[in-house]
Structure 1
Amino acid sequence: MNILIVLITFIAMEGATWLIHKYVMHGFLWVLHRDHHDHSTDGPLERNDLFFIIFAIPAILLMFVGVKNGYSPSFYIGLGITLYGLAYFLVHDVFIHQRLSIFRQTESPYFRAIRRAHKQHHKHLGKEEGECFGFLWVPIKYFKLYFKK
C-alpha cells in the first residue's frame, strides 16, 4: 500500500508541476522564474533555483509528520514528492540544461522528445504565450517526432 501511495503521488506531481509552472512560475512568481528564461543571472545559480526550496519544504514537513506518526501515509506522500523532485533535477537540470556535463548525447526517443518540448518552452522569453509546461509528459506531437511508427 505504501509503495502505491508513493507511485500515485509521483504521478500526481506531474499534474501539479504543470499547474504550478503555468500559473505560478509564469504568473505571480515570474520574478523568480524569469532568469531561467532570459539567462540574466551570472554564475551557476538562478533566482529560479529558489523553487527547489519552496517545493522541498512541504515534502520535508510531510515526511517529518509521517515519521512522527509511525510512518503514516503523509511520510509516503512526502517521499513521492521527494522522488519526483530528484527525477526533476536529474532530467531538467542535469540532462536538459546540462548543469553537469554528463548525459549530453542520447538516442532515446523519449528523452529527445522531452528535450525538444523543453526547447519549445524556452523559445518564449516572456511569461505569456508559453507552451509545454509539463516535465515527464509532454504533448504527443513531440513524441511523434522521435518514435518510429
Structure 2
Amino acid sequence: MASRPIWKGQLRLSLVSIPVEIYTATQASAKPSFRQIHEPTGKPINYEKVVAGVGPVDRDEIKKGFEYEKGDYALRVELDRRARKTSPFVNAPRDISRHARWVDPELVGEIAFTEFTPDGYLRHPSFIGPREDKPARSIGMEKPAIPCRPKPNPSHEANKRASGRPSN
C-alpha cells in the first residue's frame, strides 16, 4: 500500500513555487546510506590512498599540507617544527596576536593582497607560495606605490581650448 502525505503544499520563493509533500517515516531508525557500487558485482567500492608513480601508501606516511603552486606542495610539519608561543614581531597587533599561531620567521612566503587598511592590516590577503630566493632577514614591510598621474595629451588640451570648453 502506498503511503499518503501528511501535508501537501507549496513553498513560494519570490516568483518560484515549489510543490512539497511531507510523509511520515516508515521506521524510526531508518537512515539512508549511499555508497558507490561496482555495477557488475554489486559490491561497494573501497577507497585506497595511492600516490601516482608510487602506488598504495601507509596511513603513517600521510601528512597534512597544501598546494601553493600547480604540482608544488608544502608540508604543515615544516611550520609545526618552527612553532613558538609568542610573536617574533615587536609591535604585533594585539587582536591578531591572541588568535595567531606564530612560527619563527625563517621562511619567506609571498602574499597577494588588495591594499593596506588605514590601521595597517592587509585587505584580502592570500598565500601565493614560499619564496626560497630571498632570506627572511631581508624582508620588511612593503610601502604602497604612489600611482603616477597620466601626462596630459597636448592635442587633447588644444582641442578643448578650440572648442571653448574649460579645461580642468
- Of structures 1 and 2, the larger Rg is shown by 2
User: So what's the TM-score if we normalise by structure 2?
Assistant: 0.21
Q: Determine which structure has the larger helix proportion and give its number.
A: 1
TM-score between both structures, scaled by the size of structure 1:
0.23
Higher strand share: 2
Which gives a bigger RCO, structure 1 or 2 (Cα 8 Å, sep 6+)? Answer: 1
